[in-house]
Amino acid sequence: MKTTDRRELPKGKVSLTALGLGCAQMGNLLKLMPFADARDTADAAWDAGIRYFDTAPFYGFTRSERRLGAILDERQRSDFTISTKVGRLMVPDADVGAEAEGYVNPCPFHQVYDYSYDAILRSFDASQQRLGMVRFDILYVHDIGRVTHGEKHEHHWNQLTKGGGFKALSELRQDGRIGGFGLGVNEWEAVSEALDECDLDVSMLAGRYTLLEQESLGLLQKCLDRGARIVVAGAFNSGVLAGTNNFNYGDAPAEIIARVQKLRSVAEEFGVAIQAAALQFGMAHPAVVSCVSGARNARQIRSNVEWFEAEIPTAFWQALRERGLVAEGTPLPGLAA
C-alpha cells in the first residue's frame, strides 16, 4: 500500500489519498507550533504524495484553518482534497486565555455549539473566508454524540435533525459547494444513528476503529450497506500505540496498557513496528477510504509515511487473529475477514 493510492467515495465525486494529514497540530494542539513548522510539515506531506488535508474551525480556535489556507494558497485547487467541519461557531472573545480546550495561545474566539440550519451555513461561510476557498470536498459535523454533550445531547441532535442541520448540508451538497458530508466524531454510535437520519457520504471516526478497538465493526458494515464510507483518524489511540501513555486524551488505564503490551509483543516477535501496524490496520476494511494522521514537523511526516508503506508479513496479522487480539470478523491486510 502506498500513501498516494486513492480511494473514491461511492458517488464518485471525491477521491482521497490513502494517507491524509490531520491539521489539529497547526492550531497549537498541546504546544506551540510555529508557522514555519506548519508550512514545512505540509510541504513534506505534499512531497510524500499526501493530497488529503483535514482541518476544523475548532483547531486553535480558527488558527488551523487560516494557516492551512495560506499554505495551500499557491497550490492548484484541483490537486488536493480538503475537509473541514461544522457544529461550532467561533465567536470573538478578547478574554480567551493562554490555553483553552487543549490549545496553546488560541486565537481570540470562543466556541458555541450550534448544529442548526442557519449555524451550519454560517460556519461554512466563515470557513470559506479563512481557507480562501469556495468549495470543500467534505464537510464533517464535528463532535456530536451522547458522550460529548451529555444531558444536552438531545438538544443538539434535534438541531441537526429537526432543526435543519442535515438539510443545510444536503443543500450544500446538492448545489456543489461541497462534495459530500458526514460526521467527524469519537463516538461510532453517533454515526450509526446519523445514517438512519440522512444520506451520509463519509464520516471521520477518531480512535474507534483501530488496532486496539474494533467495537465499531457493525457500523463499518452498515456504512457499506448504505453506500457510506469511513476515514480513520486517531490510529494511535491518542498515542498509546505510538509509545506514549496517552489514551482517549488522558492517561491510559491498566487494562489498556496490558492490551497494548500484548500487541507490542507480537509485533516484536515478527519484527514489525507497532506504529506501522496501527496505521495500516484500518485500511484493510472495505468501508475505509483513508487514514488521517497528524504531525508536528517534516520528520514526523516522513516517519508516518515510512510506517504506512512498510512491508508487514501476513503471518503477523494471522498471529493477532489466532491469539484473539482482534475481534472476530475483522478484515486484516492480506487475509479474508
Q: Give the residue numbers marked as catalytic.
A: 54, 59, 85
Q: What is the distance between the terminal CA atoms of the chain, rounded to a whole angstrom? A: 18
**Residue 186, Cα to own-chain centre: how many angstroms?**
9
CA 98 to chain centre: 26
The answer to whether the beta carbons of residues 304 and 293 sit under 8 Å apart is yes
Rounded-to-integer distance, Cα 132 and Cα 211, Å: 37
* Strands 88-92 and 136-142, bridge-based pairing: unpaired
Write out the DSSP string of 286-303. Answer: TTEEEEEEE-SSHHHHHH
| Residue 124 one-letter amino acid | F
Among candidates 235, 301, 308, 234, which has minimal Cα distance to 276?
Answer: 308
Residue for grid cell 481557507: 131
Chain Cα centroid distance, residue 79: 20
DSSP letter (8 states) at residue 272: -
